[in-house]
């Protein structure tokens, strides 16, 4: 049973025209489909499946669901049994519940987030193709993001009441979905409280991450760029488009990634993320950041963490 990678994120936006301008002109995505309900589907140039982001018009920003691709149809059936044995109810959604996607296994994470697994989505190829490809297409727009890289979800945490959905999600992803932990931030006496957890199902430093907060939500969805130079160029693109930047170009301690955080017009936080950091492997020791270095783990250069970074999310 193999979970391969992030497949797509379905987010809510309050102004579809403004959102499309943002995800096309700033992030650099392309529209690949519109459905009868008004949802819009987009992909990055280096992705080969039909879409990685679904925009749904709503009166409130945030995430509807997150989906990951598994290796084959048999994995869906096997994972359904494992998830239900873990005490979580599931629903097998029929083919074409979402356009161009086969069956989807739907369930709620311990944190309450809606997650789906699927085995098939229409392959349309990257913008440079698979035969003698150029390193990039000639019609790049905006930051020219390669692909949707990961998402960070906020999870309810209240140690006084014994609630830590970061730890609950971590156990679920490791024991049931087969992910492995790459890094963590621990706080409290003896580092007993897991504040943040970074997990991988590949060789990347993380394919999903969880951080503790007052309520469940989405902290950000992240798009991959090649290099520090591309991060700086992305900052220029954001400035030209008057994009609201949350955190200007800097480096993470966690994952060693280079980053900019910014908001779409509805207030959903985005990230451009460069640098694979290190090769994640299942036998690599887990990197642990302690409470006294927690701010530096997030923003390595300054070691300063604004409160709004963890309290403002959709």
Q: Enumerate the active-site residues.
A: 150, 206, 220, 252, 261, 271
Query: Rounded to whole angstroms, how far apart are CA atoms 237 and 243?
Result: 8
Q: What is the CA radius of gyration of the chain?
A: 19
The H or E element containing residue 79 is helix 73-85
Q: Residue 303: count other Cβ atoms within 10 Å of its Cβ.
A: 13
Checking DSSP bridges between strand 53-57 and strand 3-13, what pairing results, if any? Answer: parallel
Instruction: Give the pair of three-digit tokens for residue 135.
Output: 């390193």
What DSSP designation does 24 have? I
Choose among 34, 26, 74: nearest CA to 50: 34
- Rounded distance, CA 255 to CA 208, Å? 12
CA distance 41 to 185: 34
> Is residue 211 within 8 Å of 150, Cβ to Cβ?
no
Ordered strands of the 114-118 beta sheet: 30-34, 40-43, 53-57, 3-13, 62-70, 114-118, 104-108, 90-93
CA–CA gap between residue 208 and residue 150 (Å, rounded): 5
């Amino acid at each position: 049973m193999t979970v391969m990678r992030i497949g797509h994120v379905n987010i809510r936006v309050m102004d579809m025209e403004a959102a499309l301008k943002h995800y096309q002109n700033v992030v650099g995505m392309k529209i690949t489909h519109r459905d009868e309900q008004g949802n819009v589907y987009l992909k990055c140039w280096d992705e080969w499946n039909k879409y990685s982001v679904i925009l749904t018009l709503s009166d409130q920003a945030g995430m509807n669901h997150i989906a990951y691709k598994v290796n084959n149809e048999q994995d869906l059936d096997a994972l359904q049994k494992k998830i239900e044995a873990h005490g979580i109810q599931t629903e097998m959604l029929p083919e074409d519940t979402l356009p161009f996607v086969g069956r989807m296994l739907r369930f709620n994470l311990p944190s309450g987030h809606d997650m789906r697994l699927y085995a098939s989505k229409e392959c349309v190829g990257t913008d440079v193709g698979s035969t003698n490809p150029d390193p990039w297409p000639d019609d790049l727009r905006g930051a020219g993001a390669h692909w949707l890289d990961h998402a960070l979800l906020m999870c309810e945490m209240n140690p006084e009441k014994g609630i830590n959905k970061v730890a609950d999600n971590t156990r679920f992803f490791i024991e049931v979905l087969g992910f492995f932990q790459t890094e963590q931030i621990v706080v409290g006496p003896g580092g007993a409280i897991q504040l943040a957890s970074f997990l991988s199902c590949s060789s990347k430093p993380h394919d999903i991450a969880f951080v503790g907060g007052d309520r469940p939500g989405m902290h950000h969805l992240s798009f991959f760029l090649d290099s520090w130079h591309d991060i700086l160029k992305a900052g220029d693109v954001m400035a030209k488009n008057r994009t609201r930047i949350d955190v200007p170009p800097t480096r993470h301690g966690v994952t060693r990634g280079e980053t900019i955080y910014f908001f779409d017009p509805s207030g959903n936080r985005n990230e451009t993320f460069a640098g694979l950091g290190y090769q994640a492997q299942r036998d690599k020791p887990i990197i642990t950041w302690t409470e006294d270095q927690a701010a530096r783990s997030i923003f390595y250069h300054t070691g300063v963490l604004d409160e709004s970074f963890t309290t403002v999310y959709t």
